[in-house]
A and B are shown apart, each in its own frame.
Chain A
Amino acid sequence: MLRLNNIEVTYLNVIRVLHGVSLEVADGAIIALLGANGAGKTTTLQAISGLLHTVEGEVTDGSIEWDGERTDKRSAQDISKLGIVQALEGRRVFGHLTAEENLMVGAHHRSRAAAREDLEMVYHYFPRLKDVRHNTGGYLSGGEQQMLVIGRAMMAAPKLMMLDEPSLGLAPMLVEEIYEIINRFNSEQKTSVLLVEQNVRIALSISHYGYIMENGRAVLDGTAEFLSNNEDVKEFYMGLSAVGKKKSYRAIKHYKRRKRWL
């Protein structure tokens, strides 16, 4: 179980981008972290995974706990050993490595036998990766690269897998396919998933609970069902608005609604 208590994150000692974010990821759950560009979603993931240290950020207030232990001062390596893994945003495969080598890097800390087994498991979830396993990562298609990045995270045998915008820049069909696999992985392997997305509709389709972030704060949270039916969420994040309203009026309402959250 992961718990963020009111964390504040500051970059380069001066730029504060998170102003008190609290969230919880229960064991085995899929939790969505939603919000527009620049809301602080990636920063939140990096705070959890410890990668924040390498990008010159720091948790300056609040705490992060994993199964009751504080992790916010620990190194990325120590945190990964707890079973927390982050798949980076933007399909960052190792371009000159083959697909299979990419996966093996994900299993760096595991025994050879365990890695072999998990390789089969990843190929079971992503049969496409098996077909291209000897191809160079940099030349794979966008969808294959995204699968590779998720597969690489799976290779760490994580207890908590954090995915940063897995739908980014992919065709809708592929997004559906990948999401279905994430869902299946979660229910079969009991791995918790913290899912960062801008694509709110697809993220809520598989999540149990979600948080909406804006300007470094979690402004709204609730079950997937609650969020999907929330008027504000529908309007601002799913592009659906009540029929018949004029566009100019929307802008004003937008402003008011935001106020209500903050």
Chain B
Amino acid sequence: MAEFLQYSITGVTVGMIYALIGLSFALIWKSSGVANLALGGLVLIFSWIFYAMLVQVGLPLWLSLIVVLILALAFGWLIERFCLRPLIAQPILSLITVTLGLEFFLEGLAVFIWPEMVAGLPPLFPIEPLKIGPAVVSQAYVWAAVISLILFGILTLYFRYHKMGIAMRATADDQLAVQACGIPVTSIFSTSWMLACVVSAIAGILISSISGLTHGLVETGLKAFSVVILGGLDSFIGCIVAGPIIGLAENLGSGWLTPIVGWGGLKDVIPFIIIIVVLFIKPYGLFGEVRIERI
């Protein structure tokens, strides 16, 4: 029982970080309809940059954070300006292909700059573990979950009430009509890329504070795709619900169920079984926006 609880808690909290990466995907999808396939690469590169600032350069924690966030903003702006904007009005597939190219570029770049492949971050959060009932959980998990929830709250409010957030949703519906309101859609796209990069960077830092830095962070980034497909691509609430579901399935699968069933592959399959079942019942995902068709 204690074990079950333990795996559930870590699963849910790690799932919150997946949710955050999913959020980064949804931000861009929502405003421009582009599927950002570079999520893994973004999470990877920002985590390593953070490591470089904190450990290799030796900056204090707060300064490293600020540097990474500023770089993330700059990077998001650059990606939109130089990779995507030249392709505006091209078929959406070419835009998506560019993000795939970016993914490979970022992975290569990370290997090139940090060939050591594996590194550890000094602890960012207090190290005394927390006791939750019979389970013992490291504080890093709890903090990661709390920070994810806060970010989720901020972004939700931003999209609901801030005029830029509303304009971003409007852009998803009708780009020409947004321009007719005097809002350049390019500014919307670059804002969404900047936000998405910041969210990816924070997710990367949180995940590497828990499980260390490897180049396998790319795969963590890819988990976000399961999250957004399950949650419904454009839905924030979908991410924050689907993330923990995926995390939970994975952790219970690997830690708790595998010894019982005796098949190691179970862990990787469970999330996909869940996704397939959910998509059968709800084709737009758990909270996906239903396409409006009036006759």
Contacts and interface: CB of A to CB of B under 8 A. Distances in A.
Given A80-B181, A105-B181, A54 B173 contact: no
Contact of A105 (B183, B184, B294): B183
A118 to B, nearest CB: 13
Interface of B is mostly: helix
A106 interface: yes
Contacts of B292: 95-96, 136, 138-139
Interface residues of B, number: 21
Given A105-B166, A136-B292, A77 B176 contact: no
Interface in A145-167: 152, 156
Contacts of B170: 94, 97, 101-102, 105
B179 A105 contact: no
A81 B184 CA distance: 12
B288 to A, nearest CB: 11
Contacts of A94: 169-170, 173-174, 177
Contact of A88 (B163, B177, B184, B294): B177
Interface string A103-123: 011101100000000000000
Contacts of B179: 51, 54, 76-77
A138 B177 contact: no
B231 to A, nearest CB: 16
B265 interface: no
A163 to B, nearest CB: 12
Contacts of A136: 292
B266 to A, nearest CB: 38
Interface in B168-227: 169-170, 172-174, 176-184
A86 interface: yes
B289 A85 contact: no
A54 B88 CA distance: 10
Contacts of B173: 93-97, 137
Contacts of B172: 96
A101 B177 contact: no
Contact of B183 (A77, A97, A137): A77
Interface in A42-96: 49, 51, 54-56, 75-77, 79-81, 85-88, 92-96
25 contacts: A55-B176, A75-B184, A76-B179, A76-B182, A77-B182, A77-B183, A80-B181, A81-B182, A85-B181, A93-B173, A93-B177, A94-B170, A94-B177, A96-B289, A101-B170, A104-B166, A105-B178, A106-B181, A108-B163, A108-B167, A136-B292, A138-B292, A139-B292, A152-B181, A156-B182
